[in-house]
């Protein structure tokens, strides 16, 4: 203002003077203030120094803070990694995981759940997941779920869950509540596991079990397992029914023994001994005597388990009905056979009479005529010669008739075939089982496994076996103080197959031992079987041997051997001779 | 039965031999040895004899009317002896019949006798029983 004003004449004007005085005042203040400022500067410097100190302190703190932040970031990273891992676990475990809110609706479903059902989180949210369940399974499932919400208990249920392709599969659903410190439920956690294969297997198993039970019931066959060492016995339903024990009760050998027919108790005890000795598979026929006095016939077959040699598994069939009908049938058959025998004998006699009487009639007439012609006067020698010639011719004719009859009633040609001695024997025992049973004889068949075939006349060999069985049965008919036991065994002896029939009968008198194989020695003759002499002829014609040995205990064992098939052909001539001998004996 | 008559036959002394006409005895039997042997014996007895193998052949034969006695088998193929007997009755032919059979069958025997058979012999029979039967059957 002064610089500008100094160029003017009228400087300073009134206003300018005022202003200048203010300025002068200000300047003096300024000067005063300048002094103050210097003082202030000192203070400021002090401040600066302090600030610098403080700043350094702060910087240091800041550095610490920064490293702390890095650490925190690392921690967060770790947490995230852990969360990812957890999610991976949840999404990878072979089950569907989920979480519901305390009052029921869904909060979370794992990715596999969505993948399986094909429902989006929006669709399944809240109660939306219900559509994934089978309509039949949902109501009971919801009912149970509501019960759990009230009771606060964990549980498991099974229900069908729809796959995204519309196929329902069975799931096992497990749920468990999570509680806070106060014990209040804050979440429900659950898993749903696919059990379709198990369910299918279970259903198949249940069906098979039902089939088995029904089959067992219909065929009256029970099955069992028996661990010899521990003594533990497992029975199927039908076993209980057969033995008439209350189903499901623990069964002991003693209890089973109490049902045994007293006469068959020996068989039962022997069976146990054999099993304990580890003899192997066995097969028995025995009887039960029920508390009401009825008798049941059982057929038992047991095998050692391949995977556990100490355990037997087996089946028992109630063959009572069959036995009874067999007995009835056999009775009818024997009556019929008797009738047939009488009838055929009559027919045979008549036919023989007719066949023989024709030539005989000629012989007598011719001989009479011859005599008359010779006694005439003069004798008619030519006529007599002619009639004598006819007499001789008719005599030959009668002889032809006899030999024709012999051919007719003896076997024509031996039939050689490969036979399984076990099968052959089985057929005979099946055929004569009623007879054996009726004689109060218990039969045991102890057949060698994989016995080689023999080349033989099946019918002839079976006649021999039948004969031996009949002899044995008869030998025991008077035995009352011990079991009447018939044991048929087969075995391989070198190049021979052997069959023996062991009885517990009266045995052989020493003087009889040599004679039993002689023709016509046997005192009995019921017409159906053949004697021991013929049996021996048959066996010898097969190049085998038939002999008898005294048992260590009571009774006798008859055994025969015949060559196994690889031995070569059998002399057909010999077999024919047997027929002749048989015919002669007849 | 005239014992001396039978005895005379046994020694071949046939009283009928002197008579010019010998009574005809026909034999019907399917068995050849009977057809061969029986006529010879009958001739020895002093009869004329002829044999047929089938009942039908006898029925159609012109010797039927001359037959004084028929020796007839029962079991034959085709017409049986009993059938022939009935057929003769139906034709009112009163030829005496002596049945001979190899089969012992009392029912047949009874039936044959009821139908008027003169005699019933089981094969084999002796010459004497046949001769007795013939003597009884043929009216003297």
Residue A67 reports pLDDT greater than 80: yes
- How far is it, in rounded angstroms, from Cα A224 to Cα B91? 85
Triad A490, A437, A582: Cα angle to 5°: 60
Rounded to whole angstroms, how far apart are CA atoms A117 and A253? 56
The string of DSSP codes covering A485-532 is: EEEEEEEEETTEEEEEEEE-SS---TTTTTTTTSTT--S---SSS--H
Rounded Cα distance, A526 and A532, in Å: 13
> Between A99 and A521, where is the model more confident?
A99
- Model ipTM over 0.85: no
A319 three-class SS: coil
Q: Residue A541: phi, psi to the nearest 5?
A: -65, -25
3 state SS of A417: strand
- How far is the C-alpha of B31 from the C-alpha of A156, rounded, in Å? 101
Q: What is d(CA B129, CA B137) in angstroms, rounded to the nearest whole number?
A: 12
Per-residue pLDDT at A166: 93
Q: Given its phi and psi angles, is residue A446 left (phi above 0), alpha (psi -120 to 50 degrees) or beta?
A: beta
pLDDT tens-digit map of A382-417: 888 888 888 888 888 787 777 655 654 554 445 678
pLDDT category, A337, cuts 50, 70, 90? Answer: low
CB-closest option in B31, B37, B122 to A366 = B37
| Nearest alpha carbon to residue B54 among B30, B70, B35, B75 | B30
Q: How many CB atoms lie within 10 A of CB A301?
A: 13
Are B125 and A372 within 8 A, CB to CB? no
CB contact under 8 A, B12 and A360: no
* Model confidence pLDDT, tens digit, residues A146-193: 999 999 999 999 999 999 999 999 999 999 999 999 989 999 999 999
Question: Are A453 and A565 within 8 A, CB to CB?
Answer: yes
Read off the tokens for A197.
């294969």
Sheet holding A106-109, edge to edge: A106-109, A96-100, A185-194, A168-179, A155-162
Whether pLDDT at A259 is above 60 = yes
Is residue A381 a contact partner of residue A424, using CB atoms and an 8 Å limit?
Answer: no
What does residue A401 show for φ and ψ, rounded to 5 degrees? -60, -45
Which residues in chain B are contacts of A368 at CB distance < 8 A? 41, 126-127
pLDDT tens readout for residues A341-359:
555 455 556 666 766 777 8
Q: Is the pTM of this model over 0.90?
A: no
pLDDT of res. A399: 79
DSSP state of B15: G
The runs of H, that is alpha helices, within A152-264 are 196-219, 237-243, 253-259
Tell me if the bond preceding B47 is cis, omega within 30° of 0. Answer: no
Torsion of CA A115, A121, A126, A128, to 10 degrees: -60
Residue B81 neighbours by CB distance under 10 Å = 25
- B120 pLDDT above the threshold of 90: yes
CA distance A394 to B34: 10
Contact A369 B34 (CB under 8 A): no
Q: Report d(CA A511, CA A323) in Å as an integer.
A: 39
CA-based nearest residue to A584, from A544, A534, A550, A539: A534
pLDDT in tens, A275-307: 888 777 878 888 999 999 999 999 888 888 877
Supply the pLDDT for residue A580.
44
Q: Please confirm whether the linkage preceding A12 is cis (ω < 30° from 0).
A: yes
Closest-CA residue in chain A for B105? A350
**Who contacts A569 (Cβ-Cβ below 8 Å, separation ≥6)?**
A416, A455
Q: Which residues of B touch A353 (CB under 8 A)?
A: 102-104
Residue contact B33–A361, C-beta within 8 A: yes
User: Which stretch of A21-30, A109-118, A189-198, A570-579 has the lowest confidence by average pLDDT?
Assistant: A570-579
Calculate how close chain A gets to B63, using CA atoms only, in Å.
24
Count CB atoms within 10 A of the CB of residue A368: 23
Cα angle for residues A304, A306, A311 (degrees, 5° grid): 40
Q: Given the DSSP bridges, would you call strands A442-446 and A295-304 parallel, antiparallel or unpaired?
A: unpaired
Which residues does chain A have within 8 Å of residue B129's beta carbon, measured at their own beta carbons? none
3-class secondary structure, B68: strand
- C-alpha to C-alpha distance for A545 and A565, rounded to whole angstroms: 16
Tell how strand A233-235 and strand A221-227 pair up.
antiparallel
Rounded to whole angstroms, how far apart are CA atoms B72 and A106?
Answer: 117
Would you call A365 an interface residue with chain B, using a CB distance cutoff of 8 Å?
yes
């Amino acid at each position: 203002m002064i610089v500008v004003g100094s160029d003017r004449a009228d400087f300073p004007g009134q206003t300018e003077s005022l202003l200048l005085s203010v300025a002068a005042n200000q300047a003096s203040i300024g000067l005063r203030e300048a002094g103050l400022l210097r003082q202030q500067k000192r203070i400021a410097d002090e401040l600066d120094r302090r600030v610098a100190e403080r700043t350094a302190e702060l910087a240091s703190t800041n550095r610490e803070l920064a490293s702390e932040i890095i650490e925190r970031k690392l921690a967060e990273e770790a947490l995230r990694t852990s969360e990812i891992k957890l999610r991976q676990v949840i999404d990878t475990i072979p089950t569907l995981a989920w979480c519901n809110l305390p009052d029921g609706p869904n909060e979370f479903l794992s990715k596999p759940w969505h993948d399986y059902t094909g429902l989006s989180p929006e669709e399944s949210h809240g109660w939306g997941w219900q559509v994934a369940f089978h309509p039949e399974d949902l109501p009971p499932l919801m009912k149970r779920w509501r019960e759990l919400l009230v009771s606060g208990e964990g549980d498991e249920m099974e229900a069908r869950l729809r796959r995204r392709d519309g196929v329902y599969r069975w799931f096992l659903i497990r749920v468990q509540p999570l509680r806070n410190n106060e014990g209040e439920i804050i979440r429900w956690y659950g898993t749903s596991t696919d059990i379709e294969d198990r369910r299918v297997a279970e259903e198949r198993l249940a069906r098979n079990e039902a089939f088995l039970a029904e089959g067992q019931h219909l065929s009256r066959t029970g099955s069992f397992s028996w661990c010899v060492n521990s003594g533990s016995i497992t029975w199927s339903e039908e076993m209980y029914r057969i033995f008439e024990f209350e189903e499901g009760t623990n069964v002991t050998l003693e209890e089973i023994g109490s049902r045994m027919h007293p006469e068959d108790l020996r068989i039962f005890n022997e069976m146990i001994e054999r099993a304990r000795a580890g003899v192997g598979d066995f097969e028995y026929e025995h009887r039960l005597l029920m508390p009401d006095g009825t008798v049941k016939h059982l057929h038992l077959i047991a095998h050692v388990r391949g995977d556990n040699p100490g355990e037997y598994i087996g089946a028992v069939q109630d063959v009572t009905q069959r036995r009874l009908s067999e007995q009835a049938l056999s009775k009818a058959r024997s009556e019929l056979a008797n009738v047939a025998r009488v009838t055929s004998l009559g027919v045979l006699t008549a036919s023989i009479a007719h066949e023989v009487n024709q030539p005989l009639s000629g012989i007598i007439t011719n001989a009479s005529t011859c005599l008359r012609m010779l006694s005439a006067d003069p004798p008619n020698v030519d006529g007599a010669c002619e009639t004598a010639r006819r007499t001789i011719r008719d005599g030959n004719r009668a002889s032809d008739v006899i030999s024709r009859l012999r051919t007719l009633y003896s076997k024509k040609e031996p039939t050689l075939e490969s036979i399984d001695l076990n099968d052959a024997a089985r057929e005979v025992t099946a055929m004569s089982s009623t007879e054996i049973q009726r004689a109060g004889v218990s039969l045991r068949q102890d057949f060698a496994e994989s016995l080689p075939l023999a080349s033989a006349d099946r019918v002839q060999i079976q006649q021999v076996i039948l004969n031996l069985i009949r002899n044995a049965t008869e030998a025991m008919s008077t035995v009352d103080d011990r079991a009447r036991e018939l044991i048929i065994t087969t075995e391989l002896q070198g190049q021979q197959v052997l069959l023996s029939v062991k009885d517990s009968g009266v045995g052989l008198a020493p003087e009889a031992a040599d004679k039993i194989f002689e023709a016509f020695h046997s005192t009995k003759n019921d017409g159906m079987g053949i004697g021991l002499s013929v049996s021996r002829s048959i066996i010898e014609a097969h190049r085998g041997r038939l002999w008898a040995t005294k048992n260590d205990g009571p009774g006798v064992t008859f055994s025969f051997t015949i060559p196994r098939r690889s031995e070569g052909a059998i002399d057909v001539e010999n077999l024919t001779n047997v027929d002749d001998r048989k015919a002669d004996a007849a | 039965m005239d014992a001396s008559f039978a005895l005379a036959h046994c020694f071949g002394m046939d009283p009928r031999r002197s008579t010019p006409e010998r009574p005809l005895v026909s034999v019907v039997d399917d068995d050849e040895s009977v057809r061969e042997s029986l006529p010879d014996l009958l001739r020895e007895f002093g009869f004329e004899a002829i044999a047929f193998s089938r009942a039908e052949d006898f029925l159609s034969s012109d010797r039927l009317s001359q037959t004084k006695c028929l020796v007839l088998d029962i079991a034959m193929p085709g017409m049986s002896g009993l059938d022939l007997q009935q057929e003769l009755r139906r034709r009112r032919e009163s030829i005496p019949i002596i049945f001979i059979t190899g089969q012992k069958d009392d029912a047949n025997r009874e039936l044959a006798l009821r139908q008027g058979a003169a005699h019933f012999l089981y094969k084999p029979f002796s010459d004497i029983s046949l001769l007795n039967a013939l003597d009884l059957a043929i009216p003297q």
